[in-house]
Amino acid sequence: MGKLRFNYRSEVLGHYVDITVVYPTDTYRLPETDALKNRSHGLLIREKKDFFAPGMKFQTVYLMHGGGDDDTLTYRYTNAEAFAQRNHVMLVTPNIANSFGADTCYGVPYQTFVTEELPLVIQTLFASSPRREDNFIMGYAMGGNVALAAALTRPDRYSACVDLSGGIGMTLDAETLKNELNSEHFSKFFPLYGASFGKAEDVVGSRFDLKAVALKNREKGLPECKLTLVCGSKEFIRDRMENDARILKELGFAIDYIVAEGYDHDFVMWNDYIEIALDKILPLKRAAIYPEEA
């Protein structure tokens, strides 16, 4: 794999931000040249069937990290690089701090960064295909909720979304978020929640009310993402995720809900289901996109 950590000043966030980018380079080779004929690794080179070519692009999965993590932890605690390599897909993980991927009430617009600025920067500076059918978003824990919210808010950006364990943050049931914001637990032990989402009485119909957002986008005639929600059978956020899945089904969205038997809210779950998402769930081409195909 090719892997880099890119740092640039985000115009939307107003500060420098780190982004981990992973490229599936290991199965690609140079065209035949005299310089390669007698190399000791020649056998290895001959086994590579795909060639590097100027202008080639990759399908891209935006992989959002969990709360308390950063863009590197995903790759230190899971085998996401290896899973991306065998599926010939590019991964992009921005550091979005403990933001819930929201345009927060404290004034930092993380969702705008994720859904508008980040794709433009990545598609401009890296070999990422700009076509909607070549772009996907997924995440785990907080990042799963970020992915779901991004897919419902900007379905024109992504063709599919996988939400792993994303049962905290924005939701399709505004009453649930209202109750959380009014609860002593969240106000006393998690004040960042209120700082991010504001007053409970303002939630219904707001940008944090994903049902309202999704229905407005449907009225506009925007395309809709294929959605997959996955929750471990032992996870504390299971009821919340199942409620979101139920509402999405009632609204007629294309959604699959998967209960991962025996799994809890941890990296054992997320490692396995990042693999399953890349291997089976997401509709990937599992090949580079060459200039003549673009």
**Residue 86 belongs to a domain with what CATH number?**
3.40.50.1820
Tally Cβ neighbours within 10 Å of residue 283.
11
Tally Cβ neighbours within 10 Å of residue 194.
17
Q: How confident is the model at residue 27 (pLDDT cuts 50, 70, 90)?
A: confident
Q: Percent of the chain having pLDDT more than 90?
A: 88
**Number of structural domains, the chain?**
1
Average pLDDT, the chain: 94
- Domain carrying residue 195: 2-293
Which 8-state DSSP code applies to residue 109?
B
Distance in angstroms (rounded) separating the CA atoms of residues 177 and 200: 7
Q: How confident is the model at residue 50 (pLDDT cuts 50, 70, 90)?
A: confident
Query: What integer pLDDT is reported at residue 185 of this predicted model?
Result: 87
Region 3-17: mean pLDDT is 97
Q: Which tokens in the block code for residue 94? A: 């921005």
Overall pTM surpassing 0.75 (yes/no): yes
Distance in angstroms (rounded) separating the CA atoms of residues 148 and 163: 6
Q: Please report where in the chains the tokens 């085998």 appear, as a residue.
A: 79
Torsion (CA) 208, 211, 216, 219 in degrees, nearest 10:
170
Region 120-133: mean pLDDT is 98
Which 8-state DSSP code applies to residue 190?
-
